[in-house]
Amino acid sequence: MSIIGLLIGVVIGALISGLVIWIVSKLGLGLEVDGFGSAFIAAIVIAIVGAVINWLLGVLGISFGGNWLAAIVQLIIAAVVLLISDRFLKGLRVAGFVGALIAAIAIGAVYWLLGWAVSLIV
């Protein structure tokens, strides 16, 4: 894969993630963004913070299987990532830990719905 193809894939992924964050913010479920630009930047920051946290967990030798406990832990990590990202961005606001949990669930649900809708088209 060329570097151009990789960069295009990263930008498309960030745009889709920004769209998902923007949609969730419009639902009023504990996450607010000032606009799509803020949602796009938030998607990039959330991806970076999430990658750092998952890397640190790997360095510490902490891994989770594919069971319900792992799903709950990943949900909590997603909420913490949202809370940390809130501190870095002026255009992103998270309504506390419960708001972050609800937003993380909503983000997952919107991603699932988009994937389902695309699978119907393709």
Q: What percent of the chain has pLDDT over 70?
A: 99
| pLDDT of the residue at 1 | 64
Structure tokens, 76: 């909590």
Residue 64 has pLDDT above 90, yes or no: no
Helix (H, G, I), strand (E, B) or coil at 92: strand
The pairing of strands 92-94 and 31-33 is: antiparallel
User: Is 43 within 8 Å of 53 (Cβ atoms)?
Assistant: no
Measured between alpha carbons, how far is 109 from 21 in angstroms, rounded to an integer?
11
Q: What is the 3-state secondary structure (H, E, C) of 45-81?
A: HHHHHHHHHHHHHHHCCCCCCCCHHHHHHHHHHHHHH
Residue 102 has pLDDT above 90, yes or no: yes
Cα within 13 Å of Cα(66), Cβ side: 0
Q: Residue 74 — pLDDT band, cuts 50, 70, 90?
A: confident
What value does the mean pLDDT take over residues 29-43? 92
For tokens 């870095």, name the residue: 88
CA 55 to chain centre: 16
